[in-house]
């Protein structure tokens, strides 16, 4: 039915997760870890020596006597730190939630499942008991109370008052036409003098809301949605007033005679603007009808179809669709979909996370780093025929980013999951710009960059190949790349970053840019020949040597065709197995290394590149040099040879005291023209 999100030829990468719970003697959850939901219904008693975190434990109850809670007890000895929370939750099936006595007995039955032994000594744990609409951990909670702990035994119980929560449930479509939207009559505020066109009609709906329209047929055009504006309507929906207030668009089990079902569908010259503090949740499954999350776009010229979701509390869109061909967000011709909050998208392998086509625009502008797009190894985002997709900082992506056609583009900033370190499992294909800025060194991307865009890797690790000659790869801040570069592509190596070239074929780098700071040089480790078309800055080429004969240098040749002024390249091997006191052996090693470097433009009079050979503690960018010499180039061939002197680099700090800095004075690096005068540092190439 849908051809926009066609499968691309690739090896499928599936994200799999399994959670097993057994009797354990000690559970330690680090502060800051994401909350977990654990089903205790069929489990034995759980003993926790030290508890930290904010977790929910789910229980079923007896269908005839709901105060009887099924599942094991939770015995917590101690809670470490502050802000620790534990939630014991059951669903509302078979419970008369309007009966105070029944609700109290169920909440007390839940509370009895918890023991906090050290309560007499510490007050580090807050417990709650909850009755929710379902048993998923994310189901809406309708009744909520706090657990009391016995001063002597720490046994939990509930008594007193509980909180009652409710949400509005609507069964008709919001169109922006006040004459049609009669169910919302009490919530509509008209502001004809508002300077903002889309605020002239405001649907002010407080609290948490669920929208689940009932329909048996569709309008002409074959599409139906919970929010579907009439032509020419611009309107604002304010759903909720506090951070926990959420708007849910429930598409499950909605039947139509024909056509498709969406959460929000705008194919008119219209605008839908939503402000929902707790975010907009769209739930879609397959039941014989195609379902999509959000669509904006119109084939008519001189129209603009807009859907925008805004949230000052951070929560944006949470869209889930397990159905075949489900698309979470789609913008077609003249369409714009914008979300400023934190967005979570879960679709199946056959679905699509995001589509932009025919000039359509999708913008997920949140930059807090918590967006999450899981396409189960399928297509996370797809832009074609001029479609534009911009995705703000994202904790994790599972799936490909793909573009087709002129003018199509995807831009994404990828962070990494705080706990797993995963950042992205998938490929970039077409014209994709990636800013991979990991939270820490654990951040990992596994995938191919088959794009003519820019890939910027900061701090994290990338395992994959750059296949497009039009690509520009930028590594900085100790980033690590394990992969190969397409011939002719550009490379920038900064901030002690590392490229492990995995290719066995000779490679040509189009334009290379290294660091302008010697202490921040990046390093390339390669066993194959490397050619630099245009070289600038400073870098290190790491070369291994034979373990039994260190004079045998392992690795390909290095050719620099041309360089910019004051460029420098250092060929480095590590000191393992090398006798650092054997001058003859050192010279032989340096000679063989120097011969691997050729500076082509030197033969035509260019003299912009300084070359060095070095033995260091290791092959990392920050390894300390132990022996070094310069490289001279042959005027006829440009081939390198070792210089006359083999020196030991100075790694001491300059203090400004001539007596303490005698090593620098002896080398002629540091002079004092006269006593008590400024220190002068002479230029030194090492």
Interval 533-553: pLDDT, tens: 999 999 999 999 998 999 999
Cα distance between residue 132 and residue 127, in whole Å: 16
Q: Above 90 in pLDDT, residue 14?
A: no
pTM (predicted TM-score) = 0.77
| The pLDDT value given to residue 30 | 29
Cα distance between residue 571 and residue 641, in whole Å: 12
| The pLDDT value given to residue 25 | 29
The CA R_g of the chain, rounded to the nearest whole Å, is: 32
Cα distance between residue 141 and residue 281, in whole Å: 15
Q: Above 70 in pLDDT, residue 10?
A: no
pLDDT greater at residue 1 or residue 372:
372
Q: Above 90 in pLDDT, residue 191?
A: no
Cα distance between residue 355 and residue 333, in whole Å: 12
| The pLDDT value given to residue 667 | 61
- In percent, the amount of the chain with pLDDT more than 90 equals 56
Among 195-199, 366-370, 487-491, 581-585, the least confident range: 366-370
Scanning the structure block, which residue is given the tokens 């975190």? Answer: 53
Cα distance between residue 157 and residue 148, in whole Å: 5
Among the ranges 282-291, 432-441, 521-530, which has the highest mean pLDDT value? 521-530
Q: What DSSP state is assigned to residue 182?
A: G
Q: Above 50 in pLDDT, residue 559?
A: yes
Contact by Cβ (8 Å): 178, 187? no
Q: Which two tokens stand for residue 554?
A: 């392992």
Cα distance between residue 363 and residue 600, in whole Å: 47
Among the ranges 280-284, 342-346, 359-363, which has the highest mean pLDDT value? 359-363
| The pLDDT value given to residue 364 | 93
| The pLDDT value given to residue 81 | 83
Among residues 373, 311, 376, the alpha carbon closest in space to that of 344 is found at: 373
Q: Which residues contact 298 (CB under 8 A, 6 or more apart)?
A: 267, 268, 269, 305, 332, 333, 334, 335
Instruction: Give the burial string for 633-660 (b: 16+ CB within 10 Å, else e).
Output: beeeebbbebbeebeeebeeeeeeeeee
Average pLDDT along the chain: 85
Residue 5's pLDDT band (boundaries 50, 70, 90)? low
| The pLDDT value given to residue 686 | 37
Q: Above 60 in pLDDT, residue 287?
A: no
Cα distance between residue 665 and residue 608, in whole Å: 28
């Amino acid at each position: 039915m849908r051809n926009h999100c066609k499968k691309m030829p690739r090896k499928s990468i599936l994200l799999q997760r399994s959670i097993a719970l057994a009797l354990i003697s000690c559970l330690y959850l680090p502060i800051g870890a994401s909350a977990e939901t654990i089903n205790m219904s069929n489990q034995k008693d759980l003993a926790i020596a030290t508890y930290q975190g904010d977790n929910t434990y789910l229980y079923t109850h007896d269908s005839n006597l709901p105060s009887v809670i099924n599942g094991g007890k939770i015995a917590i000895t101690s809670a470490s730190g502050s802000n620790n929370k534990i939630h014991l939750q059951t669903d509302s099936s078979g419970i008369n939630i309007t009966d105070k006595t029944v609700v109290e007995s169920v909440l007390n039955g839940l509370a009895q499942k918890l023991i906090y032994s050290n309560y007499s000594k510490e007050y580090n744990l807050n417990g709650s008991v909850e009755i929710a609409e379902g048993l998923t951990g994310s189901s809406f909670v309708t009744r909520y109370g706090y657990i009391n702990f016995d001063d002597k035994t720490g046994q939990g119980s509930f008594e007193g008052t509980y909180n009652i929560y409710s949400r509005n449930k609507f069964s008709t479509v919001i169109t922006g036409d006040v004459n049609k939207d009669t169910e919302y009559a009490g919530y509509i505020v008209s502001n004809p003098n508002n300077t903002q066109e889309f605020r002239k009609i405001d649907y002010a709906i407080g609290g948490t809301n669920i929208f689940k329209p009932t329909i048996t047929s569709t309008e002409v055009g074959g599409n139906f949605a919970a929010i579907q504006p009439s032509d020419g309507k611009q309107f604002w929906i304010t759903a909720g007033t506090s951070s926990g207030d959420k708007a849910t668009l429930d598409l499950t089990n909605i039947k139509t005679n024909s056509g498709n079902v969406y959460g929000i569908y705008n194919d008119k010259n219209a605008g839908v603007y939503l402000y929902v503090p707790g975010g907009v949740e769209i739930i879609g499954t397959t039941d014989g009808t195609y379902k999509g999350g959000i669509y904006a776009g119109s084939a008519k010229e001189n129209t603009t179809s807009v859907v925008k979701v805004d949230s000052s509390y951070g929560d944006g869109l949470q869209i889930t669709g397990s159905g075949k061909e489900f698309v979470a967000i789609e913008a077609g011709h003249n369409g714009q979909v914008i979300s400023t909050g934190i967005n979570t998208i879960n679709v199946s392998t056959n679905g699509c996370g995001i589509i932009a086509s025919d000039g359509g625009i999708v913008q997920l502008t949140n930059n807090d780093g918590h967006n999450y797009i899981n396409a189960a190894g399928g297509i996370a985002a797809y832009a074609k025929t001029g479609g534009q997709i911009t995705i703000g900082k994202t904790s994790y992506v599972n799936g490909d980013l793909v573009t087709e056609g002129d003018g199509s583009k995807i831009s994404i900033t990828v962070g990494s999951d705080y706990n797993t370190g995963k950042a992205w499992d998938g490929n970039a294909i077409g014209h994709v710009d990636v800013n991979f800025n990991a939270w820490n060194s654990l951040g990992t991307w596994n995938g191919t960059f088959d794009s003519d865009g820019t890939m910027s890797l900061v701090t994290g690790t990338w395992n994959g190949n750059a296949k497009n000659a039009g690509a520009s790869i930028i590594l900085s801040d100790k980033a690590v790349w394990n992969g190969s570069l397409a011939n002719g592509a550009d490379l920038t190596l900064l901030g002690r970053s590392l490229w492990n070239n995995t290719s066995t074929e000779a490679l040509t780098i189009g334009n290379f840019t290294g660091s302008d700071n010697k202490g921040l040089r990046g390093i390339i480790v390669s066993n194959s020949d490397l050619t630099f078309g245009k070289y600038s800055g400073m870098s290190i080429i790491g070369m291994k040597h034979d373990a039994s004969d260190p004079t045998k240098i392992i690795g390909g040749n290095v050719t620099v065709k041309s360089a910019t002024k004051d460029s420098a390249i250092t060929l480095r091997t590590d000191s393992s197995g090398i006798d650092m006191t054997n001058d003859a052996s050192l010279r032989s090693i340096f000679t063989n290394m120097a011969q691997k470097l050729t500076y082509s433009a030197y033969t035509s009079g260019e003299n912009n590149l300084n070359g060095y050979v070095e033995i260091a503690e290791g092959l990392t960018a920050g390894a300390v040099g132990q022996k070094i010499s310069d490289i001279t180039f042959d005027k006829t061939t440009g081939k390198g040879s070792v210089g006359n002197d083999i020196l030991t680099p100075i790694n001491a700090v300059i203090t400004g005291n001539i007596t303490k800095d005698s090593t620098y004075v002896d080398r002629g690096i540091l002079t004092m023209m006269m006593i008590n005068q400024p220190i002068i540092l002479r230029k030194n190439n090492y």
